[in-house]
Amino acid sequence: MDSLSQTARPARRVCAAFAGPPRAGRPALLRRATNGAVDRDNRRSMATATTLSHVYPIGSRVNERGHLEIGGCDVIELAERFGTPAYVVARDDLQARARAFLDAFAAAGQADFDVVFASKAFPATPVLALFAGEGLGCDVASAGELHLALRAGFDPARIVMHGNARDDGELRAALDARVGQIVIDNAGDIDRLERLTAGAPERQPVLIRITPAVAGDTHEKISTGQADSKFGVSLAQAPAAIERVRAVAGLDLQGLHMHLGSQLHSLEPFRAAIKAIAGLGEFPVYNLGGGLGVAYTADQQPLSTEEYVGALVDAAREHLGPGRRLLAEPGRALVANGCVTLYSVIGVKHNVSTWVSVDGGMSDNLRPMLYGSRYEAEIASRLGGTTRVHLAGKHCESGDVLIRDALLDDPRPGDVLVTPVTGAYGYAMANNYNGVLRAPVIFVSEGDARVVVRRETFDDLNARDV
Ligand code: LLP
């Protein structure tokens, strides 16, 4: 488990996984301690360990009422107060993970670094503002994300602008904002930037994104480092691109960028890629991208932030030379585990399988449908359970299934159902399919809850009509 879970957890609230044996009177819960069809009372007496899966936000626990508690707030009360579906974000979890990244660089002895939040993972202004306040920079991949980052208060000098298909307007917006670095993805970017910076009084710092021809072990749709990726300049074409950029008067080539892909669980691809780009010359700055994987289910044990950052720093020192400025662009690892989604169970249907339908689905979490991603679920007031169900979303297509073969405790209409690890690319890829309103974001911390992004209204659905 990530050392965060042990060291950075706020003292007041203890994750049930570390809370010791169950207290008398509290329902014995969780981690599928039983098997077979037993009734709920039997199951409670049979279960032996109170262990809340480590995928829940830091500080989560099961409270005295047997309800899931996030950020000191009873999830059942949150659902009553704010409605469902809702993204519930444990503010302290995000903070702790941001600090862990900064601390890990310092602990690895890296003097000159920046941790740049990949805003695409959770592009909500309050989340961005929180990370700006924690001293992170921001990675933006479009003029829209740039707009959000600036509104959230990031110093433009700490913004890195990406994109494989940026038009003049997007690059102009980045130049006008005086972002810290524009990452050049292709020869067309060089042409555009040459034109747009002609006669400019100051040079725009840039990096060149290199495709290192190293594939990480992840879903093909979120892998980027392999040869013939749609992103970046190949190793073979890099020397010419470097020479070209150096010849543009308005550009200041500071270094190279790489990003292998997302949800990676092994350090080897990072080491291999750093070694691969080392052959392209010496530069003062290297941006090593994002990609640190997280646990979505209890059986997954991802790399810790310290292991990951330590390995990047060591490999950079060995292959790229000492004294370089290093940037990392974590997205998922900063926000995934800090958020859970609350749903209400609408119906339970017995077909060949048992289907539990909820009031959200592919409009608030596209990841199961796009990448076959696996999630856990619990009934927030009766954790654990052995009723095998498919968890269906409310959208008009058969693919709208959030989880197959979830084990729940006798789900019934009206139950509040929770899926953890929805902070990364959930809100980010939310949509209005079937006219479903996008869910609010609720920040919880030390027993307080507040809406930081409101639920959409039906009028929002008409807001762009002319
Ligand atoms: N830097 C660059 C240039 C990126 O393209 C990305 C992610 C990141 C950093 C952050 O990667 P992370 O630390 O989050 O792995 N929608 C997909 C993920 C797409 C990732 C896109 N780029 C998903 O839900 O899994």
Is residue 6's pLDDT more than 60? no
pLDDT 10s digits, 337-355? 999 999 999 999 999 999 9
Instruction: Quote the mean pLDDT of the chain.
Output: 90
Looking at the fold, whether 292 and 191 belong to one and the same domain comes out as yes
Q: HSE on the CB side for 175, CA within 13 Å?
A: 25
**Domain holding 258: CATH number?**
3.20.20.10
421 by Cβ neighbours in 10 Å (0-12 / 13-18 / 19+) ranks as buried
Looking at the fold, whether 247 and 174 belong to one and the same domain comes out as yes
Flag whether 466 is in a domain.
no
Measure 290 CA to ligand 1 centroid, in angstroms: 7
Contact of 163 with 185, CB cutoff 8 Å: yes
Flag whether 191 is in a domain.
yes
- The total number of structural domains in the chain stands at 2
- 290 in contact with ligand 1, CB cutoff 6 A: yes
Looking at the fold, whether 301 and 362 belong to one and the same domain comes out as no
Task: Please tell me the residue having the least CA distance from ligand 1 atom 19.
Answer: 222
Chosen domain end from 335, 355, 374: 335
SS3 52: coil
- CA–CA gap between residue 86 and residue 82 (Å, rounded): 8
Contact of 335 with 127, CB cutoff 8 Å: yes
Looking at the fold, whether 121 and 32 belong to one and the same domain comes out as no
Flag whether 439 is in a domain.
yes
**Domain holding 440: CATH number?**
2.40.37.10
Looking at the fold, whether 109 and 183 belong to one and the same domain comes out as yes
- For β-strands 86-90 and 137-140, DSSP reports them as unpaired
Please indicate whether residue 29 or residue 411 has the higher confidence score (pLDDT).
411
Full-model pTM: 0.90
Q: HSE on the CB side for 50, CA within 13 Å?
A: 24
Q: Which residues contact 285 (CB under 8 A, 6 or more apart)?
A: 181, 207, 254, 255, 256, 324, 325, 326, 327
Measure 76 CA to ligand 1 centroid, in angstroms: 32
- CA–CA gap between residue 384 and residue 409 (Å, rounded): 6
Is residue 4's pLDDT more than 70? no
Is residue 7's pLDDT more than 50? no
Rounded mean pLDDT, 25-37: 30
Report residue 377 as tokens.
């679920």
Looking at the fold, whether 128 and 19 belong to one and the same domain comes out as no
pLDDT 10s digits, 160-194? 999 999 999 999 999 999 999 999 999 999 999 99
Is residue 1's pLDDT more than 90? no
pLDDT band with cut points at 50, 70 and 90 for residue 16: very low
Chosen domain end from 335, 359, 376: 335
Ligand 1 atom with the shortest distance to the CA of 264: 15
* Residue positions annotated with a catalytic role: 396
H/E segment holding residue 146: helix 143-151
Looking at the fold, whether 331 and 351 belong to one and the same domain comes out as no
pLDDT 10s digits, 74-89? 999 999 999 999 999 9
- For β-strands 448-453 and 441-445, DSSP reports them as antiparallel
Chosen domain end from 308, 335, 362: 335
Q: Which residues contact 182 (CB under 8 A, 6 or more apart)?
A: 160, 161, 171, 174, 175, 189, 193, 204, 205, 206, 207
Q: Which residues contact 297 (CB under 8 A, 6 or more apart)?
A: 53, 55, 374, 375, 376
Flag whether 266 is in a domain.
yes
Query: Among residues of the chain, what percentage have pLDDT more than 90?
Result: 85
Cross-strand partners of 441: 87, 453
Looking at the fold, whether 268 and 367 belong to one and the same domain comes out as no
Task: Please tell me the residue having the least CA distance from ligand 1 atom 5.
Answer: 259
pLDDT band with cut points at 50, 70 and 90 for residue 302: very high
- CA–CA gap between residue 261 and residue 293 (Å, rounded): 10
CA-to-CA dists, residue 425 to 2, 74, 332, 365, 389, angstroms: 21, 25, 8, 8, 25
Report residue 445 as tokens.
């911390």
Cross-strand partners of 379: 382, 417
Helices (H), 222-304: 238-246, 268-278
- CA–CA gap between residue 420 and residue 403 (Å, rounded): 12
pLDDT at 284: 98
Cis-peptide, bond into residue 413, ω within 30° of zero:
no
Is residue 39's pLDDT more than 80? no
Looking at the fold, whether 356 and 287 belong to one and the same domain comes out as no
Contact of 241 with 190, CB cutoff 8 Å: yes
Flag whether 196 is in a domain.
yes
pLDDT at 210: 97
Which letter does DSSP use for residue 134 in this model? T
Is residue 274's pLDDT more than 80? yes
SS3 276: helix
Domain containing residue 9: 3-83+338-461
Is residue 270's pLDDT more than 90? yes
Which letter does DSSP use for residue 121 in this model? G
Flag whether 250 is in a domain.
yes
Q: HSE on the CB side for 257, CA within 13 Å?
A: 30
Give all strands (DSSP E) within 8-79, no chain letters: 61-62, 68-70, 73-74
Nearest to 144 by CA among 122, 115, 117, 173: 173
Radius of gyration, CA atoms only, the chain: 23
Looking at the fold, whether 58 and 98 belong to one and the same domain comes out as no
Measure 260 CA to ligand 1 centroid, in angstroms: 9
Looking at the fold, whether 170 and 257 belong to one and the same domain comes out as yes
pLDDT at 51: 67
Nearest to 271 by CA among 291, 248, 296, 241: 291
Ligand 1 atom with the shortest distance to the CA of 293: 15
- 425 in contact with ligand 1, CB cutoff 6 A: yes
Measure 91 CA to ligand 1 centroid, in angstroms: 21
Is residue 35's pLDDT more than 70? no
Q: Which residues contact 111 (CB under 8 A, 6 or more apart)?
A: 323
Residues in the chain: 466
Rounded mean pLDDT, 417-435: 98
pLDDT at 387: 97
Looking at the fold, whether 137 and 166 belong to one and the same domain comes out as yes
